[in-house]
Structure 1
Amino acid sequence: MGRTFHGGFMTAQFDEIAHALGDTRLDGWLFYDFRLSDPLAYRILGLSEDGIATRRWFCFVPAHGRPRAIVSAVEAHRLDALGVEKIVYRSHDEMIAALRTVLGGARRIAMDYSPGCAIPYVSRVDAGTVEIVRAMNIEVVTAADLIQRFEATLTREQLGSHQRAARALRAIVDETFREIAQLISADRAVSEVSVQESVMARFAARGLVTHAPPIVAVNEHSADPHYGPTPKHDRAIRRTDFILLDLWAKESAPDSIYADFTWVAFAGDRVPEEHARIFNIVADARDATVDLVQRRVAAGEPVSGREADRAARSVIEAAGFGEKFVHRTGHSIGREVHGTGANLDSFETLDDRTLIDHTCFSVEPGIYLPGKFGVRSELDMTIEDGRALVSGEPRQREIVAILT
């Protein structure tokens, strides 16, 4: 994932793509970009995004034969790093003619698009460009599975970086809840924003980075899945408050992989019955997905993101809270906290991609009761060499009572 290829390495990458195309009975994979519209193409082809990129380019990797590129005369050297034969066009007509030449003989190809935008993460090619190709009597299919294979799979080093980040986050969760308890016990001020700032300081102390600060949500704020505290809407944390902490971070080294956890706590010595009941439903749903994935992977059987979502969603629906579970069960994790692999989703989208080896994803069902509170329990999983593993064990088994 995110590798850079040059010379012989790039040739090997093209060979690997060609082999994958043969497995899917496709004639080729057509990469396309306009003004950095498809970062996936740059990553998979090992291209730098630096420099001027104002014109359209294409790169066709066939199942059989040599890759060929199409570039504008204005930026004729844009794809030189690939070391492939290229056609330079000047006008729109010349671009279309070059596409006809490069795609000659192809009948079924993949592009980085998603039918009906079912999977927005991989839907990078605009409808008009797909129409141009289809007008040449070529069937265009989604490259979603190919993208997962070449962009979302992780090296052993990347998996190791994820596991280290996961252990660090789990320690930070425990430290944060202890800090909240100490401040409340000492009658010192503590709030959503102050806890958020404390977590960010803990990230920095451990050499972790993140694209956005964590979610710290108290009481009814926890019923908003993506609530973000601000100084204007800060909430003090007091005794008998319910606290949701959602935090994500990764190591600072290039190509490091995120970890992403959500835990909940109660600022008292006895968790209210209603909160405990909702948490138990959510935890059962979470574990139903974990169990399904682990069972299927251990047996060498495929499991799709859609099936993994249904495993959790059916538990919450059976408990009568289906309408209060307002998001998918989980998302792919990579160099971005929301990666490009299969998501655990039969709800927001219909993700039928198989969860494959050397990938990482979250499992995070939730129940949200507006005006009252919301519970989400999130852990991460990896699939490594035929084993489905939970990151950062032990997982949360009950709401943490932080004042004893």
Structure 2
Amino acid sequence: MSWTMTQIKQHKRAANLLNRILIEVIEYIKNKPETTDVAIRQFIKQQYKKHRLISDKQKSIVAFSKNTSQVHYYAEQPRKLKKGDLIMIDIWARLAKKGAPFADITWMMYYGRKLPREYAQAFKLVAQARDKAIDFFKNSLKNKTVPLGKEADSVVRSYLEKHGQRDRFLHGTGHSLGFANPHGRRVRINRKGRLPIPINVGYTIEPGIYFKNEFGIRSEIDFYIDSPGEIRLRRSSPCGIPTGCEANSTGQAISRGENYKLIITTICQKQIIKIWKKS
């Protein structure tokens, strides 16, 4: 069953607020450089309340350095932020309204002046894999086809495998967004996704690569397919945060007698965000 127009608007609102919260996290870290992963997670929880968002019982993912190598890291004992730390923040929430769907995004940050080359290269590869999935959806819709979940997953997986990262991509490419938690029950974007991606249902695209006990990189965006048929990606970014996915194109896509468009509802991070407050 597709989302209603009200639910689509609720998802877009939640996605915009999550983007804002991550920007608020950046400012929080700048102003509190002695912070910890647990403190940042608590700040995120406070911002949910401030923006009238609710989440599920699972804790937000805030990971530093080698802890980013875990797909789902939930800090128990506080770990202090240090210069040179890679930061992964994965947050999800929905409007505090009955039947409102979740939004779910992951950003990568770095606490320091100069980003290490290995982090930059790994992020570039992950972002390119993410954008390959977007291009695949665009081209499929242009050719009047709504792709299967496994087809989109194969595009990302093949790209990472081509660059020697097959064994470091430890999860599926994406999932539908739910109402009780961020993981919905519709066809997944993974090897087992044998059905077309449903229309007017929110989804994630979230490729990642993980170097055991070293570091991990993930980039997660949200999207849905709607009609009529043009591809629209978010161009602007608040507070000067660089985005990707700017290369828009337009195309007709017909399935079940209708036209479709792909809409990205969250910021496409173009590079790791460096955080450093000048003394």
TM-score, normalised on structure 1? 0.59
Residues 123-171 of structure 1, C-alpha deviations (whole Å, 9 max, x = no match)? xxxxxxxxxxxxxxxxxxxxxxxxxxx3xx2011000000000000001
Which residue of 1 is the match for residue 52 of structure 2? 207
Which residue of 2 is the match for residue 234 of structure 1? 78
Which residue of 2 is the match for residue 389 of structure 1? 263
**In 2, Cα distance between the equivalents of 1:388 and 1:298?**
10
**In 1, Cα distance between the equivalents of 2:105 and 2:97?**
20
**In 1, Cα distance between the equivalents of 2:28 and 2:159?**
34
**In 1, Cα distance between the equivalents of 2:6 and 2:178?**
13
**In 2, Cα distance between the equivalents of 1:236 and 1:294?**
42
Contact 1:302–1:355 under 8 Å retained in 2: yes
> Match of 1:402, as an amino acid?
I
User: Are 1:351 and 2:190 matched, yes or no?
Assistant: no
Which residue of 1 is the match for residue 232 of structure 2? none
Which residue of 2 is the match for residue 370 of structure 1? 212
**In 1, Cα distance between the equivalents of 2:174 and 2:129?**
12
**In 1, Cα distance between the equivalents of 2:178 and 2:68?**
26
Contact 2:68–2:216 under 8 Å retained in 1: yes
**Pairing of 1:275-354 with structure 2 (within 5 A):** 275-335=119-179, 336-346=181-191, 350-354=192-196
**In 1, Cα distance between the equivalents of 2:48 and 2:134?**
27
**In 1, Cα distance between the equivalents of 2:174 and 2:73?**
18
Q: Among 268, 285, 305, which residue is 2:112 paired with?
A: 268
- Unaligned 5+ segments in structure 2 are 228-259
Compare the two structures and name the one with the higher helix fraction.
1
Q: CA RMSD in A?
A: 1.1
TM-score, normalised on structure 2? 0.85
**In 1, Cα distance between the equivalents of 2:207 and 2:29?**
25
**In 1, Cα distance between the equivalents of 2:144 and 2:135?**
14
User: Are 1:178 and 2:51 matched, yes or no?
Assistant: no
> Match of 1:275, as an amino acid?
Y
How high is the sequence identity, in percent, across the aligned residues? 29
**Pairing of 1:5-404 with structure 2 (within 5 A):** 150=1, 153-184=2-33, 189-211=34-56, 212-230=58-76, 233-335=77-179, 336-346=181-191, 350-385=192-227, 386-393=260-267, 395-403=268-276
SS at match of 2:153: helix
SS at match of 1:342: coil
**Which consecutive segments of 4 or more residues in structure 1 shift more than 6 A?**
none
Which residue of 1 is the match for residue 252 of structure 2? none
- Unaligned 5+ segments in structure 1 are 1-149
**1:370 deviation in Å?**
1.1
SS at match of 1:359: coil
SS at match of 2:109: strand
**1:392 deviation in Å?**
1.8
Higher relative CO (Cα under 8 Å, sequence separation at least 6) belongs to 2
**In 1, Cα distance between the equivalents of 2:146 and 2:42?**
42
